[in-house]
Amino acid sequence: MSKALFIVDVQNDFCEGGSMGVAGGAAVAEGITEHLNAHSDDYAAIIASRDWHDASNDNGGHIAWPPATPDFTDSWPPHCIAGTPGAEYHPNLDVSFIDMHVEKGQGKPSYSLFEGTTRDGKTVREILDELNITDVDVVGIATDYCVLASALDAKHSGRSVRVITSLTAGVASATSEAAIDKMADSGIEVVAQA
């Protein structure tokens, strides 16, 4: 068994005070760091994703630049614009543990970590295949969007997947609960603690 950890979108704009901050985001960043301090040796690869949207366009309709109004279903307020403080990892996350950084979005709507690439153009699937990764733990933000999409794609890639809910934060409780149900129904192991 070879295991990877996915850290999904633990960015300033998705934590309290950010343009799309969710309650508990900063605590999740801190909790992930505690998890890494205790369990980093359990993982053959620690892969973190960031939304990394273009400032020069609407990213395929994903970003509603003012005066446009986002619908919060397909379009969102400006967030995680490449090179801005909002796109950076939250300071509570110790990035020294991260082996690979994946950027997603980049001109188009993007939710799953699998839609991103490293700076040298590698896909997540290529990384997992090269390292013979069989198992994936998923943590991060937001439970009901990018964590859900990343976990489902990991499962669809043929791997065993576990989501650690104490290390996730969601946009809303109802949609987060629905996401957790969907993950469990898809054969993903959902646990409160590692």
* Total domains present in the chain: 1
> Which domain, by its residues, includes 15?
3-191
Enter the DSSP assignment of 57. Answer: S
Q: Is 9 a catalytic residue?
A: yes
| Per annotation, catalytic residue among 51, 146, 153, 155 | 146
Q: What are phi and psi of 62, to 5 degrees?
A: -75, -35
- What is the model's pTM? 0.96
Give the model confidence (pLDDT) of 110-137 as tens digits: 999 999 999 999 999 999 999 999 999 9
CATH label of the domain that carries residue 8: 3.40.50.850
pLDDT at 1 over 70: no
Q: Is 182 a catalytic residue?
A: no
Nearest to 36 by CA among 24, 27, 46, 44: 46
Give the model confidence (pLDDT) of 32-91 as tens digits: 999 999 999 999 999 999 999 999 999 999 999 999 999 998 999 999 999 999 999 999
* Structure-token pair, residue 26: 């900063």
Nearest to 127 by CA among 34, 58, 48: 48
| Per annotation, catalytic residue among 13, 15, 104, 144 | 104
Q: Is 135 a catalytic residue?
A: no
